[in-house]
Amino acid sequence: MKSIQIFLVVYVLIFSFAGACSNDDESPSNPNSAASSIIGTWKMTGATRHGVDTFNLPETSFQLGTNGSQIYGLRNCLKDNITTWSASSYVIDEGPLKCSASAPQTHTIQYTINSQQTLLTITTPTGGQATLSILSLNSTTLKLQSSNGGGIDTLTRQ
C-alpha cells in the first residue's frame, strides 16, 4: 500500500505527463512532435495499476493486481487535478479536492522528451527523476506508463 501511495504521489508530480529536449530536431515548432502535441491542458480520465482499473475502483476498495499486491482505488483528490503543459515544464493544479490541506495549490515540474519521442523524463522539485513511456499521444488523448510497467494513466485534453 505504501509503495502504491508513493508511486501515486510521484505520478501526480509527474503529471499528471513532454516538451523541450536537448535534441534540436524535436522543437515545439514541429507540429508532429510529441513536444508540440503535449502542450495544453489535460485531465486524468483513466488509470490502471498492475492490471487493476484504479480510476473507477472506489479509493477505499482494493483488488489484487497482476503482481499479487493489493491495489487500491485512485484517491478522489488526484482525479480532479488539471495539468497544463508548456514547452519544458508543466503545472499541476490540485483542483477543488486537495490531498493535503497544507499542500500548495499548484506544483511546477520540469520535463524533457527523448529524441525518439517515446520517453518523458521529469525532474521533481526535490531533484528526483522519473521516466514514463509515452504509449500514445494525439490531439485528444495522452497515455503514459510508469518505468516499472505497473501503471498506465490516460489523460484527456481539456
Tens-binned pLDDT, residue by residue, of the chain (158 aa): 443 333 344 444 444 333 333 343 333 445 568 888 999 999 999 999 999 999 999 999 999 999 999 999 999 999 999 999 999 999 999 999 999 999 999 999 999 999 999 999 999 878 899 999 999 999 999 999 998 778 999 999 99
What CATH number matches the domain at 2-151, 1.20.140.10, 2.40.128.280, 2.40.160.40, 3.40.1390.10?
2.40.128.280
Q: Let me know: does 38 contact 85? Beta carbons within 8 Å.
A: yes
Between CA 13 and CA 142 the distance in angstroms is 16
Q: Which residues of 56-78 are buried (b: 16+ CB within 10 A; e: fewer)?
A: ebeeeebeebeeebebbbbbebb
Residue type (1 letter), 19:
G
